[in-house]
Amino acid sequence: MSPRRAKTGKVDWRLCFIADSEASPTRDILWLIEEAVAGGATIIQLRGKKWTGREFLRIAVKAVELLRSKRIPLIINDRADIALACRAQGVHLGQDDLPVRAARKILGLGRLIGLSVNTPEQARKAENVGADYIGAGPVFRTLSKLDLQPLVGLEGLGRIRAETRLPILAIGGITPANAAEVLAAGADGIAVISAITSSANPRQISTKFIEAIGKVRKSSR
């Protein structure tokens, strides 16, 4: 029997901003989220590896409140308990985190569960265990912790695409200049950390990503 999944048909996968506390230690993370959304980000993932549970929940609740009126989904990194407590729209898991099926027992069918993958085999397994979407990468070299994983590259992204019907958010070294190549390789959208957090103008760079993605979609019609 195929695993049951959350409904993803209405999710706008174009641009996921991963608001990472470690990538932006000197900037207000809620301000970064607000600026990214103002620039066009369509999904926000909140990551706080060094936050205490209380601190993570406090910030997550504020993020949910910030995004609610904009109807932008908030995905919590790693912590299914935080996602449930703050009423976020989902959780994103790594290969060594809580298993997808266990997270589904906690969150039910009403929330999204994403899983990071680095190989076609992991992508196939993600679909088999009931993930709603996958984060694939790193596609290119990046300054984030993704460098600990082997590079996927555009060809590898294409092989991942061939192994799954799940929506794919590509991540790792993606810029407005190479976004078209990433989408052409099979991604449904892109996930960005440092390109936005390190920008002097997070709103402007988010808009540039959205414009680049829009050109690709327009030319493919």
Catalytic hit among 14, 21, 24, 47:
47
145 a catalytic residue: yes
In a domain? residue 161: yes
Which long-range contacts does 65-68 make (Cβ < 8 Å, 24+ apart)? 66/30, 66/33, 66/34, 67/33, 67/37
- Which tokens belong to 104? 């589904």
Which residues make Cβ contacts (< 8 Å) with residue 218, sequence separation at least 6? none
In a domain? residue 170: yes
If one counts the domains in the chain, the total is: 1
Q: How many CA atoms lie within 13 A of 29 on its CB side?
A: 26
What is the H or E stretch that residue 12 is in?
none
Catalytic hit among 24, 116, 199, 206:
116
Output the domain CATH number for residue 91.
3.20.20.70
Average pLDDT of the segment spanning 117-131: 97
Catalytic hit among 58, 145, 198, 217:
145
Domain that holds residue 149: 15-216
**Which of 35, 41, 78 minimizes the C-alpha distance to 60?**
78
In a domain? residue 47: yes
The model's pLDDT over 128-176, given as tens digits with 9 standing for 90+, comes to: 999 999 999 999 988 766 667 899 999 999 999 999 999 999 999 999 9
Q: Residue 42: helix, strand or coil by DSSP?
A: coil
Instruction: Supply the pTM of this predicted model.
Output: 0.94
In a domain? residue 74: yes
Average pLDDT of the segment spanning 187-194: 97
141 a catalytic residue: no
